[in-house]
């Protein structure tokens, strides 16, 4: 078999909390999606290096004011967290907790790439869960932060088992630890139960690191070992949180993530060896930037795409996700063929609380996105444009004054500055009926800068406002995204038509 070179990160974009399995010769991965809908993206690969987006677990998973972004707060930093992916008896399982709902969700399907998922809800949080199908037919979920618990599920893994295990499994270290062990990934291998965790000490190297606990009995006692404490030469950010997976030929690898500041949490793949039935991550205690594996080569498929909006049905490409649950009555790619129409609905005070903001990830080391909007049907008080979306966002777009005058503006999040709405950094009169908008992102060397531009013809670009110093903030808990938005501050019913979104990744 030909060799494939893995270069870390394998995806230079926000794919946090990866959970990976192998079925036959194909690898599947699920990751955290929080407030982005549809959610729990499913990706597949033949070699752990080239990944393709193939499905989502749900379009939406709750219908309430917070999930619909109608409560003035939303579910930023909440929603679906740290999903666990498993395959058992020809069924695929994804489970996760939602902090805002205080509930645990289990989804099942027999077709991970094209199928619909069946939803099951269990009351109570199971923080950073890992589902474990034991050899004796019993099913467990292992979870927690420092206090690690085990709860038994029914054989179908869709409800709590009456009279089943539900107890503290063990407690992890406290001394010198800022973030106690969490992010469980559980396996039954080699006659042992292996539980992988991250922890974050405030002594020593002061970075995330990987621990493994093992026992020959499900209830212990457990012994543990430090597996990895390395930053892969990047800003002392530890490579941690994830699990292990094998190849058909018996090689083993770990799939973890590393914080890369404003672009988000990027997945990395490390070789794994075994010594005395302990996994050994990396090489000589280090996470290698690049190495070869005996897996087939395959072409990468883009995670972030350009889109001319030339659809025959009102269904967007998988690469797009809405910010919170969309209002499907307020958008269309068929009303005006070849255009994305975004109509205003519920009034909003800010881009951060505007429904139907359509998003895609950004990618490192640098990338650019641009669009052109027909703005003739906007109403007084409407704001529309292109946003670099995170808590400290920056946006370029059009706003309509009370008298109908148009202004192109660059805006930032006023909430982050203690104000109620967005803050205009620069605002310039604009007379055209269409406007071209562009944002440039620079992530290399942790520069983390976004710059904003507009044009009347798509050829001559004018800088506006100021460069945005991007920061990964826990208020949103997500890497920066492109977002197409349109919202009303006075009355609903206006709309904009976007002719395209054109994306370029710059290496």
Residues belonging to the active site: 17, 182
The sign one gets for the Cα dihedral 280, 282, 284, 285 is negative
Alpha carbon separation from 322 to 69, 208, 358, 439 (Å, rounded): 11, 31, 5, 19
What residue has token string 């004018």? 462
Secondary structure class of 58 (helix, strand, coil): strand
18: left (phi over 0), alpha (psi -120 to 50) or beta: beta
Query: In this structure, what is the dihedral angle of CA atoms 213, 216, 218, 221, given to the nearest 10 degrees?
Result: -60
**What single string gives the DSSP state of each residue in 123-158?**
ES--SS-EEEE-TTS-EEEEE-SSEEEEEEE-TTSS
Residue with tokens 């080699």: 190
- For residues 394 and 483, the answer to whether their CB atoms sit within 8 Å is no
Contact present, 454 and 437 (Cβ < 8 Å):
yes
Q: Judge contact between 454 and 435, C-beta under 8 A.
A: yes
Q: Which of 133, 86, 87, 92 is nearest to 116 (CA)?
A: 92
- Phi, psi of 416, deg, nearest 5: -70, -20
């Amino acid at each position: 078999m030909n060799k494939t070179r893995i270069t870390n990160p394998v995806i230079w974009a926000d794919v946090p909390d990866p959970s990976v399995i192998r079925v036959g010769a194909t690898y599947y991965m699920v990751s955290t999606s929080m407030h982005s809908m549809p959610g729990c993206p499913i990706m597949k690969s033949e070699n752990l290096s080239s990944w393709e987006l193939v499905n989502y677990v749900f379009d939406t998973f709750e219908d309430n004011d917070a999930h619909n972004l109608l409560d003035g707060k939303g579910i930023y930093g909440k929603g679906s967290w740290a999903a666990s992916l498993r395959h058992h008896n020809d069924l695929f399982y994804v489970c996760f907790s939602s902090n805002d709902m205080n509930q645990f969700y289990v989804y099942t399907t027999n077709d991970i790439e094209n199928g619909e998922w069946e939803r099951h809800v269990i009351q109570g949080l199971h923080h950073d869960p890992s589902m474990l199908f034991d050899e004796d037919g019993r099913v467990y979920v292992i979870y927690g932060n420092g206090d690690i618990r085990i709860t038994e599920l029914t054989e179908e893994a869709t409800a709590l088992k009456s009279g089943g295990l539900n107890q503290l499994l063990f407690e992890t270290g406290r001394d010198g630890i800022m973030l106690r062990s969490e992010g469980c990934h559980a396996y039954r291998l080699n006659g042992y139960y292996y539980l992988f965790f991250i922890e974050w000490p405030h002594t020593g190297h002061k970075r995330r690191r990987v621990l493994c606990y093992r026992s020959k009995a499900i209830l212990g006692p457990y012994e543990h070992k430090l597996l990895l404490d390395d930053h892969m030469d990047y800003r002392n950010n530890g490579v941690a949180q994830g699990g292990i997976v094998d190849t058909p030929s018996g090689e083993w690898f770990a799939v973890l993530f590393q914080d890369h500041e404003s672009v988000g949490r990027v997945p990395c793949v490390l070789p794994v060896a075994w010594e005395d039935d302990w996994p050994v991550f990396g090489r000589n205690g280090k996470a290698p930037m690049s190495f070869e594996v005996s897996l087939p080569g395959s072409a990468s498929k883009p995670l972030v795409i350009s889109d001319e909006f030339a659809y025959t049905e009102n269904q967007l490409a998988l690469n797009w996700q809405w910010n919170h649950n969309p209002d499907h009555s307020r958008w269309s790619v068929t009303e005006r063929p070849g255009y994305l129409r975004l109509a205003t609905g519920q009034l909003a005070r800010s881009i951060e609380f505007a429904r139907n903001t359509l998003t895609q990830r950004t990618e490192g080391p640098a990338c650019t996105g641009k669009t052109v909007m027909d703005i003739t049907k906007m109403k007084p008080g409407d704001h529309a444009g292109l946003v670099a979306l995170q808590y400290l966002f920056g946006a370029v777009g059009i706003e309509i004054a009370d008298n109908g005058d148009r202004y192109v503006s660059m805006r930032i999040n006023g909430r982050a500055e203690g104000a109620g709405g967005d803050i205009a950094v620069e605002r310039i009169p604009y007379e055209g009926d269409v406007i071209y908008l562009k944002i440039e992102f620079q992530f290399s060397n942790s520069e983390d800068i976004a710059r904003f531009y507009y044009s009347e013809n798509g050829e001559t670009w004018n800088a506006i406002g100021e460069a945005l110093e991007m920061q990964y903030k826990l208020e949103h808990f997500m890497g920066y995204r492109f977002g197409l938005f349109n919202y009303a501050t006075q009355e609903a019913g206006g709309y904009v038509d976007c002719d395209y979104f054109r994306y370029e990744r710059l290496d």
